[in-house]
A and B are shown apart, each in its own frame.
Chain A
């Protein structure tokens, strides 16, 4: 062990050599991996999206913004946008509602609270493949869901063969999978709320609904924005669940952007066009995040 000076060095003496060497040693492995497989690909993708590359040709022919022009005219792309937007809207709405409901029910002390939390969390740790397989089976025309519906006198649809029922099923599967995560997020926010104002409101005779409406919901606004943005990102990146549950069908009914990109790039071999789809997705996600920044900024001002 080398003896180091007793005086702790501050930034004043430019850079400390030992620190520089240690930093370089410590950073190199992670930065090399992330640089080669994450950062460089981002730059490379920007270039690829301006080519007509098929994944094999030695020359990547530069075609300017042709891929983006083609996207704007591609009915499959607009179908994919429609599907993704409807899906994302449904996932956002139901994620907030279900996460908040479970969190409110679990907020005050209750026997078995940890057990409930564990149960609601179970779908989140299950793989998308396993979850989608079970749902596919349960949604079979003669499957569990329809036989339960039949018992109350409803003739269930052929879920995965109808465009909108399939999308509804996919939405519910996604919400089911994330309910525990959203509940835990809301629970964290709820437990950070000041208790004093609730007692004051109760003394003033505010009803349970009034307290929720005028205290809890506004105070939770920052977390709601976070949950919404997470749900949006999840929807815009969805792939695994769709791949196994419907494969993007029926007739494009669940062809979310992730599925569209996968098919274009890896089934049809259009790497250039596929990257352009990915970039449009990135722009949409960034747009949404910008909205969230502004929204959470105003949310903070409320405190």
Chain B
């Protein structure tokens, strides 16, 4: 049932108008980041009218964006690798191993997923403070080394791998741990890719927790640095947009490269955030 040309053109027209509305803030961000300060108050053109690339250098001088970037990268690497290792190990236990209380523990984790962050954040904050982890990478990373979403995602994937493959390896004398690393892990790369992207976007864009546990520029992540930059340079929109764009580029690049895995992840788990 092929749609007529007019129907398809109509769909394109509406989708294009919608796309423009969605993309407009990004275009505006880019255009403003290249303007002189005077232009930011007068110009309403959505296309760049001047090319002040030095705004980026100015923004990076005005605030320690380089340091923020490093902190964000360290935190993101820590959280992503934590999720990949810790979530995978426990997901395998839930998917394939028999042990007392398996279903009960899994149900507790599922229930915890529904509890808003706000409930846990005050006690979690005081624990981190008691450990002396305020203003440290440990405070940013350790509390988020594992997450329930990743466990569910990987468990579902592991369960879809035919048991026979594992049984065959076991018959050939492979241990439990051996089958996990030699059979399950290599077969689950698509699921790991999806989890890695979700975790990276989560870590890179995360705001409330880093806001609470960091006080100094040494460990502040890019999002926190950016929001304090707004407070200090609230009227220098061109610098502000240059800073905002630099903070946004990594997640957009990751998204462009791994769009498929991301969309597949949402489609299969029906979960977001």
In the assembled complex, the Cα of A15 lies from the Cα of B124 at a distance in Å of 35
* CB of B188 to closest CB in A, whole Å: 15
Q: Which residue of B lies closest to A244 (CB)?
A: B227
Residues of B within 8 A of A236 (CB): 116
Q: Given the interface contacts A26-B92, A121-B255, A130-B248, does A1 sit within 8 Å of B145 by beta carbon?
A: no
Min CB–CB distance A26 → chain B (angstroms): 4
Do residues A33 and B175 form an inter-chain contact, with CB atoms below 8 A? no
With contacts A34-B109, A41-B119, A122-B26 known, what are 18 further pairs, Cβ within 8 A?
Answer: A1-B178, A3-B173, A33-B142, A38-B120, A38-B124, A45-B119, A127-B204, A130-B247, A133-B241, A134-B26, A134-B244, A136-B230, A144-B28, A147-B44, A188-B266, A188-B267, A262-B208, A274-B122
Contact across chains for B112 and A38 when beta carbons are under 8 A apart: yes
On B, residues with C-beta under 8 Å from A are: 1, 3, 8, 11-12, 14-15, 18-19, 21-23, 25-26, 28-29, 32, 41, 44, 82, 85-87, 89-90, 92-93, 97-100, 102, 105, 108-109, 112, 114-124, 126-127, 142-148, 151, 167, 170-171, 173-178, 180, 201, 204-205, 207-208, 212, 223, 226-227, 230, 237, 240-241, 244, 247-248, 251-252, 254-256, 259, 262-263, 266-267, 270, 272-273
CA distance A130 to B68 in the complex (A): 15
Known: A44-B123, A142-B41. A129 touches B118 (CB 8 A): no
In angstroms, Cα B120 to Cα A33, docked, is 13
CA distance A121 to B197 in the complex (A): 14
Whether the pair A1, B174 counts as a contact (CB closer than 8 A) is yes
Does the CB pair A37–B22 fall under 8 Å?
Answer: no
B120 to A11, Cβ gap below 8 A?
no
Contact sample, A vs B, 27 pairs, CB 8 Å cutoff: A2-B173, A16-B98, A25-B89, A25-B177, A26-B89, A31-B90, A33-B142, A38-B115, A41-B119, A48-B122, A105-B18, A117-B263, A119-B19, A119-B22, A121-B259, A122-B26, A130-B226, A130-B247, A133-B227, A137-B237, A144-B44, A147-B44, A148-B44, A187-B267, A244-B227, A282-B119, A285-B116
Q: Does A81 contact B (CB under 8 A)?
A: no
Q: A28 to chain B: closest CB distance in Å?
A: 9
Assess the B226–A106 pair: CB atoms within 8 A: no
A289 vs B116: C-alpha distance when bound (angstroms): 12
Q: Are A116 and B3 in contact (CB under 8 A)?
A: no
Chain A residue numbers with a CB within 8 Å of B18 are 102, 105, 120
- For A41, list chain B residues within 8 Å (CB): 119-124, 127
A18 at the interface (CB under 8 A from B): yes
Select one of A110, A125, A181, A279 contacting B251, CB under 8 A: A125
A34, B105: Cα distance in complex, Å: 12
Q: On chain A, which size bracket covers the interface?
A: 35 or more
A90 at the interface (CB under 8 A from B): no
- Chain A residues 1 to 44 lying within 8 A of chain B, measured CB to CB, are 1-4, 6, 8, 11, 15-16, 18-20, 22-27, 29-31, 33-34, 36-42, 44
Q: Say whether A282 contacts B170, CB under 8 Å.
A: no
Chain B residues contacting A262 (CB-CB under 8 Å) are: 208
Bound CA–CA A172/B171 (angstroms): 58
From B29, B119, B175, B263, A1 is in contact (CB under 8 Å) with B175
Contact call A126/B251, Cβ cutoff below 8 A:
yes
**Complex Cα spacing A48 to B237, Å:** 42
Q: Whole-angstrom distance from the CB of A260 to the nearest CB of chain B?
A: 10
Partner of A37 from the list B85, B143, B177, B251 (CB cut-off 8 Å) is: B143
Q: Please, how many angstroms separate the alpha-carbon atoms of A41 and B126 in the complex? A: 10
Given known pairs A237-B116, A281-B118, the reply for A127 and B256 (CB within 8 Å) is no
- Knowing A41-B123, A45-B119 touch, does A27 contact B89 (C-beta < 8 A)? yes
Min C-beta distance of A229 to chain B, whole Å = 10
A289 to B114, CA, bound (A): 9
| A123 & B22 in contact (Cβ 8 Å cutoff) | yes
Q: Does A239 contact B (CB under 8 A)?
A: yes
Contacts of A129 in B (CB 8 A): 205, 207, 223, 226-227, 244, 247
Measured between alpha carbons, how far is A258 from B90 in the docked complex, in Å?
Answer: 31
B59 to chain A, nearest CB (A): 12
A134 adjacent to B25 (CB under 8 Å): yes
- Say yes or no: is A226 at the interface (Cβ < 8 Å to chain B): yes
A127 touching B270, Cβ below 8 Å: no
Most B-side CB within 10 Å, residue of A144, A236, A277 = A144
**Which of B1, B142, B266 makes the CB contact (< 8 A) with A185?**
B266
In the complex, the answer to whether A27 meets B90 with C-beta atoms within 8 Å is yes
In contact, B248 and A181 (Cβ under 8 angstroms): no
CB distance from B33 to the nearest CB of A (A): 10
